[in-house]
Amino acid sequence: MIGRLNGTLLEKTPPLVLIDCNGVGYECEVPMSTFYNLPAVGEKVVMLTHFVVREDAQLLYGFGSHQERATFRQLLKVNGIGAKSALSILSGLSIDELVQAVALQETTMLTRVPGVGKKTAERLLLELKDKFTIDGVAAMNANQPKSASSDVLNALLALGYNEREALAAVKQLPSDVMVADGIRQALKLLSKA
C-alpha cells in the first residue's frame, strides 16, 4: 500500500497532480482544498495518500493533511459514497464546514456540493452523526445550543450569505443567545466584515 509520497511536483492539473519520487512519477487525484495549498511546479512536496485497487484500475488519492485523509476515509465508509463523491465533498466544503453540517444535521450545506443530492446528503448525515469527529475536532461549538445556532444559520443562508460567512458568524455568538437576537448579532458581525 502506498501511504505517503515525498518528491518533486511535476504537474498540477486539477484534480490531478504528478509527483516524481526518485524517478517514478505517481499520478494522484487531490481535493481542491489540497490543490490550492500545493507548492509551485518543480518544488518538493509531501503528500499523504489513499490507494484504491479496483478490478479495472489502481487509483491513488492525495491529501495535504492527516485530517483530510481521515475525513476521506470516513466518507468512503458511507453507503453509496465512492472516492469521486468523497473528493467532491472535500473540494466543496472545508472539514470544519462538513463537521458543522453533520452536527447541525444541515442537508442544505451538503446539497450545494456538485453530485450530492438530497437523499445522499440525508444518508451522509445519518451515517456520520455519531462517529464524525476527526482528531479531536468538536462536532459543534459546545457552548451553543443546537437549535438556536441551527435556526440562526438557516436564517443567514436564506438571506443569501454563503456557508462560510454564516458559519463564521454563528461561531462568534454567545452561548445564551436567543434566535432573534442571534440573527441580529450575526448580521452586525457580517456587516463589519
- Whether 59 and 84 map to the same domain: the answer is no
**Is 77 part of a structural domain of the chain?**
yes
- Whether 25 and 73 map to the same domain: the answer is no
| Count of other CB atoms within 10 angstroms of residue 168 | 15
Residues of the chain with pLDDT under 70: 131-147, 193
Using alpha carbons, list the distances in angstroms from residue 124 to 31, 107, 109, 128, 181.
Answer: 18, 9, 12, 6, 31
- Whether 33 and 73 map to the same domain: the answer is no
Kindly report, residue by residue over 96-145, the tens digit of the pLDDT: 888 888 888 888 888 888 888 899 999 998 888 876 643 334 433 333 34
Tell me the whole-structure pTM to 2 decimals. Answer: 0.68
Instruction: Tell me which long-range contacts 115-124 makes (C-beta under 8 A, separation of at least 24).
Output: 115/84, 115/85, 115/88, 116/85, 116/88, 116/89, 116/92, 120/80, 120/81, 120/85, 123/78, 123/79, 123/80, 123/81, 124/75, 124/78, 124/81, 124/89
Question: Considering its fold, how many domains does the chain have in total?
Answer: 3
- Whether 51 and 74 map to the same domain: the answer is no
- Domain extent for 48: 4-63
The whole-number pLDDT of residue 173 equals 85
The whole-number pLDDT of residue 28 equals 95
The whole-number pLDDT of residue 193 equals 63
**Is 14 part of a structural domain of the chain?**
yes
- Whether 55 and 73 map to the same domain: the answer is no
